[in-house]
Amino acid sequence: MVLVFSAVSGLAAAATPGGGTVSEANPSVSWTGASYVAAETALPEQCPPADPGNLVCDHFALTIDIPSNFWSLHSGGVSIQITWASSDNDFDLYVYNSGGTLVGSSAQGGTTSEAVFLLFPVPGVYEVRVVPFLVVNSGYSGSATLTFTPGPPTPNPTRPTGGIAVGPSIVADPLRTEGEPMIHVDKDGNIWESGPWGTSTSQSFVHRSTDRGDSFHIVSPIEARPDPPPGGGDTDIVTDDQGFAYFVDLEGLVNLGVAVSNDGGNTWKKNPLAVDPAQDRQWFAVDNGATSGTADNTIFLTVHQLAGGIQVYSSPGSTGSS
């Protein structure tokens, strides 16, 4: 037996209420969304605003009632969320301004919620369009909340020179070509570059420029990856306030190994405890702490673990000892 959906098969009751307002005095509003017996609507364009009875998709008229100068005196926005009971169903969320322009959307799969955040929205009436992408015997609940703090947003810093000067492009290394390179600038203005050569080579490299990017030189004295193979996967390179360098490689798409150098990249020590299988793209971040010493340095490593999702690890920074 094959179950076939048309664009919509099954009547739906419209959102209740059909509209609502968020304001400084009343920052939240909620509604009960339409319930569908069986519906399959692939695109929001299939359910235009003129949809009597919300048979194709659901519509909620959200009024953002704030003074025209509100975001000159506050920072924040409006969060809009829909939720439903089972991840077997799939609703998508689209938000349009009064001119019909799409200003936010969320269309994931395998979830029980979608959310949109409108940053500094202008006052007016917005259409919240909820699309039943693939729904059987389910409705949803919707909410919108105005969140703000006193004070305008922090302006971008200005520079007395009035602009950014960009130099000519430089080939870092004509022999060791890399994919998806990463760039890091240390406290002394040196530019570090790292990237994989490919899993078939088991090699990833680290280059450094000490002349503001005019030339790059591989840091390893053996002119190969800074720590023992395997390698050739995604890499990252960072330094702390001591000048110590931290390197990470997605080793042959199997392991994630981390190494540290305390002498500008001449020698590297691999951390056997920082090896974790079945990983994808990873990134470093460094917290240098409040002092100029090593005791309060922390190294963070964010990684996509294929089985467990996004994970964040932390480790005290290197003290320079073995």
**Domain 182-316 carries which CATH code?**
2.120.10.10
Is the pLDDT at 2 greater than 70? The verdict is no
Q: What is the pLDDT of residues 103-162, one digit of tens each?
A: 999 998 888 999 999 999 999 999 999 999 999 999 999 999 999 999 988 887 777 776
Predicted local confidence at residue 165, as pLDDT? 74
Inter-residue contact 258 to 245 (CB < 8 Å)? no
Inter-residue contact 83 to 112 (CB < 8 Å)? yes
Percent of the chain at pLDDT > 90 equals: 53
Running DSSP on this structure, what letter comes out for residue 45?
A: G
Average pLDDT over residues 95-110: 92
Q: What is the pLDDT of residues 275-296, one digit of tens each?
A: 566 667 888 999 999 999 999 9
Predicted local confidence at residue 175, as pLDDT? 84
Q: What is the pLDDT of residues 181-227, one digit of tens each?
A: 899 999 999 999 998 887 777 788 899 999 988 899 888 766 666 66
Predicted local confidence at residue 201, as pLDDT? 79
Give the start-to-end residue ranges of the domains of the chain: 19-150, 182-316
Q: What is the pLDDT of residues 26-61, one digit of tens each?
A: 999 999 999 999 999 999 988 866 677 777 899 999
Predicted local confidence at residue 9, as pLDDT? 40
Q: What's the pTM?
A: 0.54
Percent of the chain at pLDDT > 70 equals: 86
pLDDT band for position 4 (cuts 50, 70, 90): very low
Q: What is the pLDDT of residues 68-81, one digit of tens each?
A: 999 999 999 999 99
CATH architecture of 19-150: Sandwich (2.60)
Predicted local confidence at residue 142, as pLDDT? 97
